[in-house]
Structure 1
Amino acid sequence: MPIREPQPGGPDHYRQLHGQFKWQVPAGFNIAEVCCARWARHTPHAIAIRYEHEDGRCANYTYAQLQQAANQLSGALRRQGVERGDRVAVVMPQRFETAVAHMALYQLGAVAMPLSMLFGPEALEYRLQHSEAVLAIADESSIANLRAVRRKCPELGCVIAVGLAAGSGDLDWDKALARESTRFTAEQTKADEAALLIYTSGTTGPPKGALLPHRALIGNLTGFVASQNWFGFDEPDEPSHAVFWSPADWAWTGGMMDALLPTLYFGRPIVAYQGRFAPERAFELLQRHAVTHSFLFPTALKAMMKAVPHPKQRFAIKLQALMSAGEAVGDAVFAYCRDELGVTVNEMFGQTEVNYIVGNCARYWPAKPGSMGRPYPGHRVAVLDDEGDECPVGVAGDVAVHRRDIHGHPDPVFFLGYWKNEEATRAKFTGDVSDSWCRTGDMALIDKDGYLWYQGRSDDLFKAAGYRIGPSEIENCLVKHPAVANAAVVPKPDAERGAVVKAFVVLAEGFEGSAALVEQLQQHVRGKLAPYEYPKEIEFIAALPMTTTGKVQRRVLRLQEEERYLAQAGH
């Protein structure tokens, strides 16, 4: 990837980087080749996966071991009849076998369909049926739910059982690999050929399957390198050799395209932690593995901030870069990362269909606390109004990315389309097929310096007493109060004003809900934001509804409030 460090000449190198960058996408490209096979040839003994289980088990796996296992699995999958273009479900957490499965599928020319181990039977059934998956690979975390829906998925011809799930499927992983050769001739895939099918949970309707090509990894790399302060440009034998870790589930774009694949692309080690996220455990992992680069959701950072206010007093932190995405970070978390973790958090924005398109790079351009950042090199991004025109500075609109970069070259970051849903694919774009904008559905405004400021999902914004309300700013303000661990703001229907601002608050440890605390929190917000933004009602809640990717499901709370209102009105 032709991305070079800028020459000296001032603290803000953004225009130089963005203006000079040009995409180079070969006609033939395969993720497994660039993320594993080439390293197995050139640096076979380099560590690829540092595995740790929450029960204390640990193991290191080299690129040579990763490639060997991938070759064996590719042979086993071919023996089971998996062909080029077939969808194969991978239902496993962070573990060595998950990385093996992906490399094996890519070099086979099949399409990997990562599914969260947290999915229940109904969620699995829909995705397996809709994708027409021919095979599934699962471990003890998901095998029971997979077996529960097996009979309802006629296309699913085989289930390979991994780890403690051995004996629960049609074929055991260890036995399947043992009888295969460690050599495998990889398929020569095209850059535009499908590699991944990732289902996204929309606000309405069933989940949509976003089909990603091999080239999408290339489109992610500029943002990854920048947000991780030039990750991968260190020397492997240097003491500062990069080590990556993120709790992001490898079943999602955040774990796959923001962590696992780009780390392997640069031949560096990634920590695979199989266990539940906990703030103290996160700091222990950062210390034990000397993690230099990470991706942490704002929800994770908020929990870490509340649990360990001064981490450097207890842990040896070696972070050189930290990216965060999924929700707005807010200046409270921004300050915590800067002052207590010793890094300026680089906020990033993207989605499965067009990932890693906007963000910051503290190393080469100044971050504005609370801003999403600027378009990463190679991406042409704008804020559009309902008619498809670019919004003036300071006016909120829909964040969109153009199919072509500023030089007129095709941007490789784009997905191929939604699986078996041409109508939804067409609705995602504005303009002609080759000269169009892809709308994200996320609202932002852009300032005079080209920084974007997140306003929320288009369906999260609401009006109260005639004022347009974005929940992120109010939530960020609430979290600054020591009593608040997390918060979500939604509209509560109101007969007179249409809606009022309501906050759901998760209390920090040691605090209890009371009328006095409600008043205190209301005054806290009233004193920092506009008078119309303070929450007229606050409800204390044990936990916020979250997606498996760490995003707050405000829609769940909003619908709950609408149902309560209708019930009280006698409807």
Structure 2
Amino acid sequence: MRDVWSTNIDLDGTESYQEIEDAFRWDVPDRFNFGTDVVDRWARERDGLALIWENHAGEERRYTYSEIAALTNRFGNLLRAHGVKKGDRVLVILPRIPEWMIVMVGALKIGAVAIPGIEMLTSKDIAYRVRNSGARAVVCRTSQVEKFADLIDEIPVRIAIGGAPDWVDFDAEMDSASIDLRPEPVEREDPAVMYYTSGSTGYPKGVLHASRGLYAWRVSAIHWLDLRPGERIWCTADTGWSKAGTSVLFGPWSCGACTFLYDGPFDPKHRLRLLQKHRITVYCAPGTELFRIVNEDIGGYDLSALRRTISGGESVSPGLAERWETATGTRIDEGYGLTESLIVVINIPGEPVKYGSMGRPGPGVRVEVVDETGTPLPPHREGDIAVLTPNPQMMLGYWNDEERTRSCFRDSPSGRWFITGDRAERDEDGYLWFRGRSDDVINSAGYRIGPLEVENALLEHPAVISCAVIGSPDLERGEIVKAFVVLKEGYEPGDALSRALQEHVKSVTAPYKYPRAIEYLDALPQTITGKISRKELRLRERAAADGARQAGLAGQPAGDDQGRVRA
């Protein structure tokens, strides 16, 4: 039996999907503080290794649950000493380093709302998040301080790891902060964490989650990640994404497992060396990463500790899944989730896996394919993926945007459905098969990218008069960002201009959003109301990709880093 502190979960690992589903009942406590009710409890009752960290230089640090408990107490006291209180928003711009987890949990202990973000964010990206959230505090490394130069008067508490003039020195104050902390009582509906996610229009949305969500997300860690105390999981998601919440921080530590965190560039051979060195038992990575690794000589590495491979954020092709299983002896169990709910569709151990499918709804979650009226559709009919509410995994709503929050729900006789924006079909066994987005959001290598953010960046370049950005099918990344550009008079299309446009986008917004392919047009297609038709461009790209596959070119990526020029 697994000690996950829930009266409803009593497992020995042999239950079938249907047995788990039939027996499951939500048992969310009225109060839940992740820092005290999970981290501190493991430290008291079953202390063990909580975190292994390594960087590209080979430096390594290890922390037990008791050490994490003490450090997060210190950070909670540090925040309080500077006036941060329950409900205040704390922007956390940190990479894959132990301080990220310490800061996140320390903030939660005093009831503050943590807002994780990646270091690739530009000054403009950060300014929007600060002003939209009303963040009272920020934590970042010294190297990122300059991005806040224009925000000094707007953020009362500024904490720098490594120190900086006019900033709180994280290292110095952590050394002097008390190890004894009076934690804040946190109700189940109290805000706890907020993720910013790209939409098809406008700026990113702040997705606000309650403390009940942090409790509920343990369910996917139990049944999908299949974690046990003492096991070692490596999820390669970046710190700003909700996937890091379920599979790096909240999920693994809820199960008493040890998280491995690597701060370094992607290199497939080095990935394999690290899997071998640290005896990783559960590996969680997007299909893009697995695609690169499976082309290496996997037989030359000892992966005997690996018993489970998990993937989420993008579809994994059946061919890749079969190659991975042959090479490692572990199948790829996909899952599906979104920032607004985290993981809601899973594959569980011991049950059949259908490569190409996302899996089946997780315990305690009703996920259906519905039509425009909210009526669940029969098998093999495409419709909207919808999650029945209320559900403890679901967000409180979009920050300061009630209208946008309401627009995501569809009421019907069968209940109130949250419409995810994704399309799928269900087969006769209940497995869901992804069929694409119903909006324009691009999913590239697990990164969600809003087309408007890239279009706005391109329009700031003097050569561009108009543009449209879509996701173009790509074998390795699932989709790549592709831009269709109409040039101003006096500019000529070509590789040099494409490179200049790509570098410009990288300088204006987060670099991962830059267009990997650029096509120049005399005019963009329009709808009958005069709006740019991204849908027509997407259909054109999919037709081209289908034609390439039929011609035997499926092994070629759909785009390249230098852009493409249309004759």
Fold similarity call, TM over 0.5: yes
CA spacing shift, 1:433–1:393, aligned 2, 3 Å? closer
In structure 1, what is the Cα distance between the partners aligned to 2:130 and 2:414? 32
Counterpart contact for 2:51–2:260, Cα < 8 Å: yes
> 1:230-263 CA deviation, whole Å, 9 max, x = no partner?
312xxx5xxxx41011111122101122322111
Q: Specify the alignment match of 2:170 in structure 1.
A: 173
The aligned counterpart of 1:277 is: 266
Specify which of 380, 395, 412 is matched with residue 415 of structure 1: 395
Indicate the residue corresponding to 1:337 in structure 2. 324
The question of 1:457 aligning with 2:441 is answered no
Q: Give the Cα–Cα distance (whole angstroms) in 1 for the partners of residues 385 and 85 of structure 2.
A: 38
Kindly state the Cα deviation for residue 444 of structure 1 after the two structures are TM-superposed.
0.4
Whether the aligned pair in 2 keeps the contact of 1:349 and 1:357 (CA below 8 Å) is: yes
| Equivalent residue for 2:337, pick from 344, 350, 372 | 350
Secondary structure of 1:177's match?
helix
3-state secondary structure, aligned to 1:356: strand
Partner of 1:319: 306
Whether the 8 Å CA contact 2:221–2:251 is kept in 1: the answer is yes
Is the Cα contact below 8 Å between 2:374 and 2:414 reproduced in 1?
A: no
Change over 3 Å in CA distance of 1:342–1:173 after alignment to 2: same
- CA deviation string 1:184-215 (max 9, x = no partner): 01111111111001111112111110111111
Please name the residue that 1:551 is paired with. Answer: none
Residue number among 173, 179, 182 corresponding to 1:182 in the alignment: 179
**One-letter amino acid matched to 1:441:** G
Residues 250 and 6 of structure 1, relative CA distance in 2, 3 Å threshold: same
Q: Is the 8 A contact 2:341 2:395 kept in 1?
A: yes
Cα distance in 1, alignment partners of residues 480 and 179 from structure 2? 51
What is the distance in 2 between the residues matched to 1:187 and 1:386? 44
Shift of residue 393, structure 1, vs aligned partner: 1.2
Q: Which residue of 2 aligns with 1:553?
A: none
How far the C-alpha of 1:305 sits from its partner, in A, is: 2.3
Query: 1:96, CA displacement in angstroms?
Result: 1.4
Q: What residue number does 2:149 align with?
A: 148
Residue 459 of structure 2 corresponds to residue 431 of structure 1: no
| Inter-partner Cα distance in structure 1 for 2:62 and 2:13 | 37
CA distance in 1, matches of 2:213, 2:189: 9
Q: Distance in 1 between matches of 2:396 and 2:548?
A: 50
What amino acid is the match of 2:84? Answer: V
Distance (whole Å) between structure 1 residues aligned to residue 268 and residue 436 of structure 2: 26
Counterpart mapping for 1:234-383 below 5 A: 236=229, 241-306=230-295, 308=296, 310-361=297-348, 363-383=349-369
Residue aligning to 1:161: 160
Conserved 8 A contact 1:197-1:212? yes
Give the conservation status (yes or no) of the 8 Å contact 1:86–1:133: yes
Distance of 1:172 and 1:68 partners within structure 2: 19
Q: Tell me if the contact between 1:395 and 1:446 (Cα under 8 Å) persists in the aligned partners.
A: yes
Match of residue 133 from structure 2: 131
After TM superposition, give the deviation of residue 505 of structure 1 in Å.
11
Question: What is the rounded CA distance, in whole Å, between the counterparts of 2:217 and 2:407 in structure 1?
Answer: 23
The answer to whether the aligner puts 1:447 opposite 2:427 as a matched pair is yes
Give a deviation string over 1:29-66, Cα, whole Å, max 9, x none.
1111233111221234x111111111111111111111
- Structure 1 position 116 matched with structure 2 position 118: yes
- Work out the CA distance in 1 between the residues paired with 2:204 and 2:13: 45
Distance 2:318 2:57 in 1: 36
The answer to whether the Cα contact below 8 Å between 2:28 and 2:216 also exists between their aligned partners in 1 is: no
Equivalent pair of 1:250/1:260 in contact (CA under 8 Å): no
Q: Distance between the aligned counterparts of 2:32 and 2:278, measured in 1?
A: 32
Q: Which moved more, 1:33-42 or 1:450-459?
A: 33-42
Residue 150 of structure 2 aligns to which amino acid in structure 1?
V
Q: Match for 2:285: what amino acid?
A: L
- Tell me which residue corresponds to 2:11: 5
1:130 deviates by: 0.5
Aligned to 1:209, which of 206, 209, 226? 206
Match of 1:390 among 366, 370, 376: 376
Which deviates further from its counterpart, 486-495 or 381-390?
Answer: 486-495
1:498 to partner: Cα distance: 5.9
In structure 2, what is the Cα distance between the partners aligned to 1:187 and 1:194?
13
Provide Cα deviations, 1:149-200, integer angstroms capped at 9, x if missing partner: 324xx431121111xx323551111211222211001111111111001111
| Residue of structure 2 equivalent to 1:199 | 196
Q: Is the 8 A contact 1:227 1:322 kept in 2?
A: no
> Residue by residue, what CA displacement relative to the aligned partner does 1:274-296 show, whole Å, maximum 9, x if unpaired?
12222222111111110001210
Letter aligned with residue 322 of structure 2 = A
Deviation, structure 1 residue 504: 12
Q: Structure 1: how far apart are the matches of 2:279 and 2:107?
A: 31
Q: Which whole-Å CA distance do the structure 2 matches of 1:69 and 1:446 have between them?
A: 46
- Helix, strand or coil at the partner of 1:294: strand
Separation (CA, whole Å) in 2 of partners of 1:99 and 1:430: 36
Q: Residues 169 and 283 from structure 1, CA distance in 2 versus in 1: closer, same or farther, beyond 3 angstroms? A: farther
Identify if the C-alpha distance between structure 1 residues 211 and 433 changes in structure 2 by more than 3 Å, giving closer, same or farther.
Answer: farther
Unpaired segments ≥5 residues, structure 1:
405-410, 463-470, 507-517, 529-534, 545-559
Kindly indicate whether the alpha-carbon contact (under 8 Å) linking 1:504 and 1:541 is maintained by their aligned counterparts in 2: no
Q: Are the equivalent residues in 2 in contact too, given 1:6–1:13 (CA < 8 A)?
A: no
Amino acid at match of 1:502: E
SS in 1 for 2:299: helix
Match for 2:194: what amino acid?
L
Decide whether the 8 Å contact of 2:303 with 2:328 is kept in 1: no
Q: Counterpart of 2:155 in structure 1: which amino acid?
A: L
Deviation string, structure 1 residues 392-450 (Cα, Å, up to 9, x no partner): 2111111111114xxxxxx2101101110000110111128995111100110001111
Verify the 8 A CA contact 1:210 1:352 in the aligned structure 2.
yes
C-alpha distance in 2 between matches for 1:418 and 1:485: 28
- Deviation at residue 485 of structure 1 after TM alignment: 7.9
Deviation at residue 521 of structure 1 after TM alignment: 5.1
Q: Any unmatched runs of 5+ in structure 2? A: 1-5, 443-469, 485-518, 527-534
CA distance in 1, matches of 2:544, 2:275: 29
Q: Which amino acid aligns with 1:451?
A: Y
Q: Give the distance between the partners of 1:380 and 1:21, measured in 2 at CA.
A: 12
Check whether the contact 1:259–1:295 (CA below 8 A) recurs between aligned residues: no
Q: Which amino acid in 2 is paired with 1:138?
A: C
Q: Secondary structure, in 3 states, of the residue corresponding to 2:343?
A: coil
Q: How far apart in 2 are the matches of 1:121 and 1:498?
A: 34
TM-score (norm 2): 0.79
Q: Which amino acid aligns with 1:376?
A: G
Q: Which residue of 1 aligns with 2:98?
A: 96
Does the 8 Å CA contact 1:303/1:485 hold for their aligned counterparts? no
RMSD of the alignment, in Å? 3.3
Q: Structure 1 residue aligned with 2:227, among 224, 228, 231? A: 231
Distance across 2 between alignment mates of 1:127 and 1:134? 11
Q: TM-score, normalised by structure 1?
A: 0.78
Within the candidate set 18, 23, 28, 1:20 is matched to 23
